[in-house]
Structure 1
């Protein structure tokens, strides 16, 4: 399959069309220049900066087994109390079942007449027929880190775990019975499926350097499959009648696929890989030993089912919500579905009640989500997927966000680099992206090599080259693809990123000193050897996570072998820190004093070295913030700062905002800044 993307741009005096041909889809999009619809644009009310930050009020929306009710957690912004709500989908009557500060998860009982409510201290069962009837199933023992694992409707039992320095333990808890220890291991127990009638337990263990799938039958344990971070596998379900397991595997496919594993012969058979040959298996629904559907995520989420009626319904839904991402819940007999819809131009999820037999789709969003979007969909921008060729021929998936009513050839372009690097962007609503596009910027989001979800070979293609290497080249090659097709102004390029994205910002300005006009980096490590240090691992608990491979082993496979000094020296030599004196463009760096992933001392050292060399760098540190800037005033203030910074150097607009408040916070965070940056937060006297 040819992964090259061809972009044809036809410029007319009043409008032009951009045609994208990719392996995912062919999308023709009519775009208008500034000459069109200006009167309509003037009439539209320009949103405030704060309007872009909107959180949903409803969480954990869950369909009942009979498909006639839904439950969710309702919580207002900045409110500690949470409310457990139930909606009858026939009468539209809503009941408030419980109000408490620590509700984590509602789980339906198989009868659909009661709920298990998981809090951070206990599991409680609530009856729908008598909302005052509450039965405490168990109280968590914090000393053993007890955690709810799952409810098995087949057996009407709850499973919970304990995890301490000695071992990881799984317990079964049924009605009117004491907890039964089901499994104990010094390794992390990853997934498990219990069939007590047959005396069988299937489970997987996470060792430091591998995953192993086991069958425990009549007290005897057999190893069925061993895999690691390169040859991957994970347990996803069981067909007990045929004696086969559903597993995620890339043994017979270059990308993660759904496979079956025969319990007796240990033979693996491929069931379903992405028909487009691009993305890893994302999610599989197995019910009563039957494969219902599997999803893959290329440009947007796609579903496939071996059941013709389900596949037909999936096709209809995909057509109904083009360029959107769907999350599905099917009731027990699959006659009623709950569909959650998200998209790049949707601040809040929409919810639909779907009857697949008649293809009847009912919008129930207003019954579930108490808020309305502060910015309407038609005033926001959808993600445009783009697959381009890197300089070595590797295909790289990305998203481009184009501002309305703008001559694209002259528009400033900001590249948004995701963190990780083992993550990916999915074209979903993003505050910074939409805010920048609203200000007239083109925003480019590359899923560069090492991004998750495109097969292990794609991850390995970026391994141990972070810095002035292939990952950086992918970012530049994507920008050049756009510029070559008349998308963006070469003289107005900016770059923004957080964590690894911030690392990439530092590198971009150091490796391409005449290319970018401005960079904004938050929580940025300046060198990967430091980020991988044993000291940081111990602080983060990264050497032995509760779920996942030993981080030391993972880093040695994908990042750097810290035992090899020559390798450490090589990776440092291509780091932003080693090239920092080449930086010319204005740079803002922001960090949290309580960040345990990226030590603030490293950020200070890097920034101070630039300042002493008279580089245009400004440094801001929030004394209360961690790696993710969890405080709302912090990220709102930094957004305000970023808006003005890019406007100064790239020529975009800014939004009205509560600027006095943000200037006050920025002033408190300032360590040092250039005169030009200082003016953004000292405009109002008396601060």
Structure 2
């Protein structure tokens, strides 16, 4: 549908396009007002169904071969996941596997094998009849295996790290080379935990990263002897990213810097900067490496706006051509290497849940179609109606000043065609808390905007993506303290700018965002009229201690044990005074103060937030006579469970916000959804008459 705007509206729309595509943030009245006016001038969006707004794409992973001549992808079809391959010279793709549990894939360095990785194992698939398919490594069992990368010294091999002994007391760590037949070669054995490694072109260990005394150490290996070159505090980023021809490695790190950047590590431990955010705002989001020698070629930043930078002049020239043909888009690249090699260009947008892929030919400087994701209904897995991008909200990056003077970041989503001042406002803190909102599609924010709500997503201090000082500024104050004050300050600042109806403000979040929602409703009832908390920790200190006792959640990554990492963030779960303070400020300890309705959502298989804590909190609210509803699915995990479970959660959010804030009423549930709610809505509260 073609939109027809008056001249003034077209001018405002043009202004908005410039603002959203540029690094300018809405941190002053003029910039924010231009965005508000442009959104007000748009046509009112038609109501879109939950199923359409919750749709997802069918492609779970896609990879270009190192020679840039073939593309492989994993596609969901109903309950199955298929492996597809297309040779660029041949327009017709072919299906290699009809069903695989793999969630990600990669190519061997010689391009003859595809590597399929699931949570259970790693399989090698011959691309053109070199021997079929076979499992080459297991990720389960008494020993733990983790894949580092493909081996750049071999045509077709991967590097794995293996732990010997129980997780609580391992006796040794091994760096393994595993070929496509599953043949294992021990490259290095170490009594300390191996984190990463770099091999030289002859297959010898050149650089090693391991844990020593609670810290990360990078060692240069000469004649089989490791020599320490750089020590990293575990609270800092310190990731090896390949080795240059002179033997020095690249490092993605915030050592000696506030923000994560790309550096070269000298043999003497000196760090020479290769690239950092030219706007001085964002950490590196992603490095795009050469598929053959693993040298970094592009750097992506995506904390406030999407920016992609090339490190070499030839790559920069080609990137400029691609960006000129796809202006204002969030792009990701996979470059091929060699004569006749193409690049794979991925196109994303905050107004589209589906991605598109194009092939770029560096020899002709032309783009050609490759693949568009097909919309899938989240519940049925079948085809869905494509979203009308012109009707969706366009998020705007924001900056505002907290009450203590710190500049903070976030995003604002306004419903098209409506008066922002009259719209109910929904605040959506992110989970983590060590995480951040990025400029990308989010189904909940789009759904809320489509229902007429203004949506505010604060990246409070403690968030990642904006530098070490920004993250560390939380200072472990995760109760009803400084971090929560950022959420409140940002909400009040937006209201003062004429965004949202002050009498109709709600707060919705998941995980730590759900905890923040409960804090808001408990301690700021005059501001927040309703709270929805999905898989929330009612007591943040308690859930941290629970996590450390849970073997399945002992590590936040494959790098640093969780307890060590928490201490690096200033949180010591053995510090009684700190834990007592977090408890005293928790929603669980302040049930009597709550006077706003609350919807809780929990999962019986949640391995991040123990369901017992959520149930206890709901029971205390019920006994105290509070307005509480609880949706508890015994089969759901921390990610929300099945598509039906997620739609049920969304329906209840719509219902709760409609009742308390006066937004659009939800479409009536069908029979399947009603049945799910009958089984799992354990406390209906006043949601169900």
Give the structure-2-normalised TM-score.
Answer: 0.87
Instruction: Say what the alpha-carbon RMSD is for the aligned residues.
Output: 3.0
Match of 1:222 in 2: 227
Q: What displacement does 1:154 show?
A: 4.2
* Aligned positions of 1:651-662 closer than 5 A: 651-656=662-667, 658-662=669-673
Q: Which has the higher contact order (CA 8 A, sep 6+)?
A: 2
Report the more deviating stretch, 117-126 or 489-498: 117-126
Deviation at 1:479, TM superposition (A): 1.4
1:255 aligns with one of 235, 259, 265: 259
Q: Residues 15 and 301 from structure 1, CA distance in 2 versus in 1: closer, same or farther, beyond 3 angstroms? A: closer
Alpha-carbon distance change, 21 to 383 in structure 1, aligned in 2, over 3 angstroms: closer
Q: Distance in 2 between matches of 1:656 and 1:211?
A: 53
Match of 1:190 among 192, 195, 217: 195
Cα deviation, 1:107-138, whole Å, max 9, x if unaligned, reads 3344445434456455334132x48x516473
- The Cα shift of 1:491 comes to 0.8
Matched-pair contact (CA < 8 Å) for 1:52–1:374 = no
Specify the alignment match of 1:101 in structure 2.
100
CA distance in 2, matches of 1:351, 1:500: 34
Cα distance, 1:177 vs structure 2: 9.8
Change in CA separation of 1:621 and 1:36 when aligned onto 2, cut-off 3 Å: closer
Question: What is the alpha-carbon distance in structure 2 between the residues aligned to residue 532 and residue 151 of structure 1?
Answer: 35
Q: 1:377 aligns with which of 372, 379, 389?
A: 389
* Per-residue CA distance 1:383-408 (angstroms, 9 max, x = gap): 21111111112111111111011111
Q: Distance in 2 between matches of 1:539 and 1:590?
A: 21
User: Is the 8 Å Cα contact of residues 145 and 163 (structure 1) preserved in structure 2?
Assistant: yes
Whether the 8 Å contact between 1:58 and 1:369 is mirrored in structure 2 is no
- Structure 1 pair 29–364 and aligned structure 2 pair: CA distance change class (3 A): farther
Check whether the contact 1:172–1:182 (CA below 8 A) recurs between aligned residues. Answer: yes
Question: Are 2:437 and 1:425 equivalent residues in the alignment?
Answer: yes
Which of 269, 287, 309 is the aligned partner of 1:304?
Answer: 309
Q: How many residues align?
A: 655
Q: In structure 2, what is the equivalent of residue 386 of structure 1?
A: 398
Matched residue, 1:573: 584
Secondary structure class of the residue paired with 1:524: coil
Distance in 1 (CA, whole Å) between partners of 2:274 and 2:551 is 38
Check if 1:668 corresponds to 2:679.
yes
- Listed as ranges, the matches of 1:211-610 within 5 Å are 211-239=216-244, 241-263=245-267, 265-287=268-290, 288=293, 290-333=295-338, 336-356=342-362, 358-366=364-372, 374-533=386-545, 535-543=546-554, 547-558=558-569, 560-610=571-621
Distance 1:491 1:15 in 2: 32
Partner of 1:89: 88
Q: CA deviation at 1:372?
A: 6.8
Question: Unaligned stretches of 5+ in structure 1?
Answer: 1-11, 680-687
For 2:148 and 2:112, locate their aligned partners in 1 and report how far apart those are by CA, in whole Å.
21
Aligned partners of 1:208 and 1:553 also within 8 Å = no
> 2:688 aligned with 1:678, yes or no?
yes
Deviation at 1:99, TM superposition (A): 2.3
Tell me whether 133-142 or 16-25 shows the greater mean CA deviation. Answer: 16-25
Q: Structure 1 residues 506, 540: closer, same or farther in 2, change over 3 A?
A: farther
Map of 1:53 onto structure 2: 54
Residue 103 of structure 1 aligns to a residue whose secondary structure is coil
User: Conserved in 1, the CA contact under 8 Å of 2:195 and 2:210?
Assistant: yes
Contact 1:157 1:172 in 2 (8 A): no
CA distance in 1, matches of 2:512, 2:205: 44
Does residue 639 of the first structure (1) align with residue 619 of the second (2)?
A: no
Q: Which residue of 1 aligns with 2:63?
A: 62
Alpha-carbon distance, 1:318 to partner: 4.1
Q: Does the aligned pair in 1 maintain the 2:57–2:374 contact within 8 Å?
A: no
Q: 1:205 to 1:615 in 2, by over 3 A?
A: same
Q: What CA deviation, in whole Å up to 9, does each residue of 1:190-234 have, x standing for no partner?
A: 221112638442121135731111122211111111101344422
8 Å contact from structure 1 (residues 543, 551) kept in 2: yes
| CA distance 1:544–1:316, shift in 2 (3 Å) | same
Superposition map of 1:144-163 within 5 A: 144-158=143-157, 159-163=159-163
Q: Deviations over 1:661-681 (max 9, x none)?
A: 32332222233233x3113xx
Q: What residue ranges of structure 2 are gaps of 5+ in the alignment?
A: 1-7, 26-30, 166-170, 377-382
Contact 1:400 1:444 (C-alpha < 8 Å) held by counterparts: yes
The secondary structure found in structure 1 opposite 2:350 is coil
Alpha-carbon distance in 2 for matches of 1:269, 1:15: 45
Please tell me whether the aligned partners of residues 353 and 362 of structure 1 are also in contact (alpha carbons under 8 angstroms). Answer: yes
Closer, same or farther: CA 208–401 of 1 in aligned 2, 3 Å: farther
| Greater mean alpha carbon deviation, residues 647-656 or residues 391-400 | 647-656
Distance in 2 (CA, whole Å) between partners of 1:426 and 1:606 is 31
- Give, in angstroms, the shift of residue 493 of structure 1: 0.3
| C-alpha distance in structure 2 between counterparts of 1:491 and 1:373, whole Å | 36
8 Å contact kept, 2:426–2:505? yes
Deviations 1:560-588 (A, max 9, x none): 32322222222223222333322222111
Checking the alignment, whether the CA contact within 8 Å between 2:153 and 2:200 is kept in structure 1 is no
